[in-house]
Structures are given as C-alpha cells and as structure tokens.
Amino acid sequence: EKQLVESGGGLVQAGGSLRLSCAASGFTFDDYAIGWFRQAPGKEREGVSCFRSIDGNTYYADSVKGRFTISTDNAKNTVYLQINSLKLEDTAIYYCAATYGNSCATMRYGLPFDYYGQGTQVTVSS
C-alpha cells in the first residue's frame, strides 16, 4: 500500500520558518514526481512545489518562489518543504502527493496527482 505521511506543521509567526516532512512508504521516488499542495479555507487546492529526483525536474508556484525549497532524501524516502519568510497567506493545510511516470508539468498544468497524504496544518500569525 502506498502511503504519504506529512509532519512538521504548526503555528508560526509571520516572517518565521518551518520545514515540512513527508515520509513515503510502499514505493520509492525513482519513477515519481513528488509535490506539495496546499488548501486554505474557502480556496481551491494549489500546487506549490514539485520535484522529480530522476532528472531534477523542479517546479515552484509564483506565489512561493524564493521562499519555498523542496528537497528529497531518497535514502529515507522522505520529501521536505522548507518554508521561509512565512506570510499570513501561507496559512493552509499542506499535502504531499506523488504522481507516477509524470514530470512536474503535471502540477504546472493543474492536473491531479495519483496519491495524496492526509495533510499537515500550517498557521501563520501576525
């Protein structure tokens, strides 16, 4: 069974930093693009970052460029999202996801991924 389990969310002041983690089981990253999505209350789910380790294909949404960094530790089968300079509008549930055999163009074009985790809440306070 393929699973994704996020952790690392919490309450942070604006301007602060967080590192989200997503541990994958039941598959390895070799044939997958791994992404982070977020969904704020009353808003649609937004793809914020994606990475495919086999070729380094990477995507960041314009809203997070320069502040978010995605990385993977293939030995631990874990993907990370480093979030710096947090803004109030970053408040959302953050989900990691995986898509088999596709590039990060899947996120760029708003297409669904194959597997999603349960999410971790990030709340930014003023």
Report the candidate in 111, 119, 109 with the shortest Cα–Cα distance to residue 38.
119
Helix (H) or strand (E) holding 18: strand 18-25
pLDDT at 101: 92
pLDDT at 37: 98
Q: What share of the chain is helix, strand, coil (3-state, %, to 5)?
A: 10, 50, 40
Show pLDDT as tens, one digit a residue, over the chain (126 residues).
Answer: 999 999 999 999 999 999 999 999 999 898 899 999 999 999 999 999 999 999 999 999 999 999 999 999 999 999 999 999 999 999 999 999 999 999 999 999 999 999 999 999 999 999
pLDDT at 30: 87
